[in-house]
Amino acid sequence: MEKRVCGDIEKLVLKAVEQTSEAILITDSSGTIVYANKAMEEVSGYSAEYLKGKKPGVLKNEGSHAPDFYRELWSTVKAGRKWHGRLLNRRKDGTLYTLDTDITPVKEPDGTITHFISVRRDITRELQLEKQLIESQKLESLGLLAGQIAHDFNNMLTIILGSVELVLEDTKEGTISHKLLSETLKTARHTAELTKQLLVFARRQETRPKKSCANDLIKEAELILKRLLAKNIDFRMELQRDLWDADLEATQFQQVIMNLAINAQDAMPDGGAMRLATGNVTAGEDSPWPIPPGDYVLVELKDTGTGIPREILDRVFDPFFTTKPKGKGTGLGLSIVYGIVKQHKGEVLVDSAPGKGTSFRLFFPRSK
């Protein structure tokens, strides 16, 4: 009777381990995998049969952790202590994912370690959402600062512009004074434009979006876009039919497309391909994008340019941040994109890697 009860409990435990949402991996004392549950198969993309007999290194992403990291991990568990930490692994399809991991030694009554059980939880999406929240808070703080500076500076520039214009009217044309004042006025007006762009980033400019089809607005700007782009750029559009409407301010939306296109062209000095696409997407809990649930009109601009290094990817929307040579660009192009999209209650995501091009995805909420 006792054996039967024990057998029933073992079957129950095995069934629970097999059906739990936590990824479980069991190795023998030498580190060879002897068991992987269904959740482990789902998160890694590898079958349990494939994993059996292999070392856990088959799952790791080379270079993501230093050799000392793994030495410390194994020395801890081989000493009979529990290890807790995060592992950056690579799925079978090549994508990276982060696991919150507990590795516990399994001991015999005499203290001999026979196995190690690893319980892993995929926290990739949580980390993406956390990163997006931090980035959003950072840009919100920058926006408040930039907006206040731009507002005060704009007031001072109004006085400067008015005064210079009045003095210029009373100055004889052709004189050095007239030329200097004309250059001063030109510079002041250019500076006023920069302050306006800062106000867009800070979302302090009034906008009146109306129900529109992004495809129609893109087609309106197509001729200008093609004139802007160099001949060595292969520009293509893939606009989805029956695209949902979104609440858009036409001029600002088209400015976003222009800014992204110019930015993409600058990343392809020797030529390349640029694709502008639209689509209907619905974001939910299983969405690949860290954005709030809902229906969106997606506008994506993808290039085959030089790409953006990972270490500066988080700064591309910062005002005045630019990787371009001195004298080329103000560093406000992508800040304006961010500000306008946010004014439209949308989301903007960037995906890039050196040598692999860049993709900007803009998500505009579907009109109700």
Angle in degrees, CA 49, 51, 56, rounded to 5: 165
- Identify the three-state secondary structure at position 97: strand
Per-residue pLDDT at 223: 78
Greater pLDDT, 295 or 14 = 295
Q: Quick: pLDDT tens for 272-320.
A: 999 999 999 998 877 788 888 999 999 999 999 988 887 777 777 765 5
- Identify the three-state secondary structure at position 360: strand
Phi then psi dihedrals of residue 302, to 5 deg: -120, 135
Other Cβ atoms within 10 Å of 236 Cβ, number? 10
Question: In terms of pTM, does the model score above 0.75?
Answer: no
Q: How far is the C-alpha of 302 from the C-alpha of 317, rounded, in Å?
A: 17
Q: Quick: pLDDT tens for 202-211.
A: 445 556 788 9
Q: How far is the C-alpha of 281 from the C-alpha of 360, rounded, in Å?
A: 15
| DSSP state at residue 60 | B
Looking at 176-180, 184-188, 189-193, which range is the least confident one?
A: 189-193
Q: DSSP readout, 237-302? A: EEPPTTPPPEEE-HHHHHHHHHHHHHHHHHT-TT-EEEEEEEEEEEE-TT-SS-S-SEEEEEEEEE
User: What percent of the chain has pLDDT above 70?
Assistant: 79
Per-residue pLDDT at 214: 95
- What confidence tier does 360 reach under pLDDT thresholds 50, 70, 90? very high
Q: How far is the C-alpha of 337 from the C-alpha of 317, rounded, in Å?
A: 8
Q: Where are the domains of the chain?
A: 2-122, 123-205, 207-368
User: What percent of the chain has pLDDT above 90?
Assistant: 18
Q: Is the pLDDT of residue 38 over 60?
A: yes
Per-residue pLDDT at 222: 84
Q: DSSP readout, 147-180? A: HHHHHHHHHHHHHHHHHHHHHHHTS-TTSHHHHH
Looking at 54-63, 122-131, 193-202, 230-239, which range is the least confident one?
A: 193-202
- Cα atoms in the 13 Å half-sphere on the side-chain side of 69: 12
Which CATH code of 3.40.50.720, 3.30.530.80, 3.90.1300.10, 3.30.565.10 fits the domain covering 207-368? 3.30.565.10
Residues 52 and 36 sit within 8 Å (Cβ to Cβ): yes
Per-residue pLDDT at 327: 42
Greater pLDDT, 312 or 30 = 30
The two tokens of residue 40 are: 């482990």
Place of tokens 């920058």: 142
Greater pLDDT, 229 or 206 = 229
Mean pLDDT of the chain: 80
Of all helices (H) and strands (E), which one includes residue 115?
A: strand 113-122
Per-residue pLDDT at 220: 84
CATH superfamily label, 2-122: PAS domain (3.30.450.20)
- What confidence tier does 329 reach under pLDDT thresholds 50, 70, 90? very low
